[in-house]
Amino acid sequence: MSSLPAVNRNRRTNEALHPDRTWVRIVRCLLGLGALAGVGWNIYRAANGMTESSVIESLSHFTNQANVVFGVVAVTGAFAKRSSLPRWWDDLRGAAAFYMVMTGLIYALLVAEPGELGRWDLDWANIMLHRVTPVAGLLGWLLITHTRKQGWGRPLAWLAFPLAYLAYTWIRGAAVNWYPYGFLDPTRDGGWSAVFATTSQVFVAFLAVAVIVHVLGNLRASLAHR
């Protein structure tokens, strides 16, 4: 009988954080629309000559692509009941959370200019897409109730999109001589050797973070089962 209070607490927690709760839907909707609006603003600026990037170059950034995935998943989850979505929907939520975490880490470690992380006077889209959505994606994965536990194939499946993005970046870069990120650009000092060295480290980081996000998801699902 001593376990009953703990069971009741778990049940109340899972009910309060259920994806169909009104407050969860509202937060998801706002975050999803914010992510899509940020990407839209970047495209608008590129289309109107407000940045050095063209529209296709803006869309070729991992940040924008990952935030589109996150935005679509968040908005869909805000308007559709969990029971109406397929069983693998939580796996897709995990993928979106994983891409958001990597977006934040890559920005912080490889992309941000010195001193930029301590500044908040940046373009609102920069803050939304590089700081807000990465944190929100991870917190949503850790907190919102989901009951689907998966095996070790899930984090490997999540890597399909980053690998496809890498192939696209190098193939297009070779054709047009433009790369969205300096550490992927073989025309810089060090050439392909430097690119492969950095990319290998980034890939190991992607794999490690994918495994961590996967394990945390299964732990959250275990709480829901209890």
Give 112-136 pLDDT, tens digit per residue: 888 888 888 889 999 999 999 999 9
What pLDDT does residue 67 have? 98
Reply yes or no on whether the pLDDT at 3 is more than 70: no
Reply yes or no on whether the pLDDT at 31 is more than 90: yes
User: Mean pLDDT of all residues in the chain?
Assistant: 92
What pLDDT does residue 197 have? 95
- Supply the DSSP string of 61-126, one letter for each residue: SHHHHHHHHHHHHHHHHHHS-GGGS-TTHHHHHHHHHHHHHHHHHHIIIIISPTTGGG---S-HHH
Reply yes or no on whether the pLDDT at 63 is more than 70: yes
Per DSSP, helices labelled H in the chain are 4-16, 22-47, 55-59, 62-79, 89-106, 124-127, 133-143, 153-158, 160-176, 191-225
What pLDDT does residue 15 have? 87
Reply yes or no on whether the pLDDT at 40 is more than 70: yes
- Domain limits of the chain? 4-225
Q: Compute the distance between CA of residue 41 and CA of residue 46 in angstroms, rounded to an integer.
A: 9
Q: Compute the distance between CA of residue 119 and CA of residue 107 in angstroms, rounded to an integer.
A: 14
Is the four-CA dihedral 158, 163, 169, 175 of positive or negative sign? negative
Reply yes or no on whether the pLDDT at 196 is more than 80: yes
Please indicate, yes or no, whether the overall pTM of this predicted structure exceeds 0.85.
yes
User: Rounded to 5 degrees, what angle do the CA atoms 192, 108, 159 make?
Assistant: 60
More confident residue, 188 or 8: 188
Span 143-181, pLDDT tens digits:
998 878 899 999 999 999 999 999 999 999 999 999 999
Mean pLDDT of 32-44: 98
What pLDDT does residue 204 have? 95
Nearest CA to 159 among 216, 218, 213?
213
More confident residue, 221 or 38: 38
What pLDDT does residue 6 have? 64
What pLDDT does residue 226 have? 63
Nearest CA to 169 among 76, 86, 63?
63
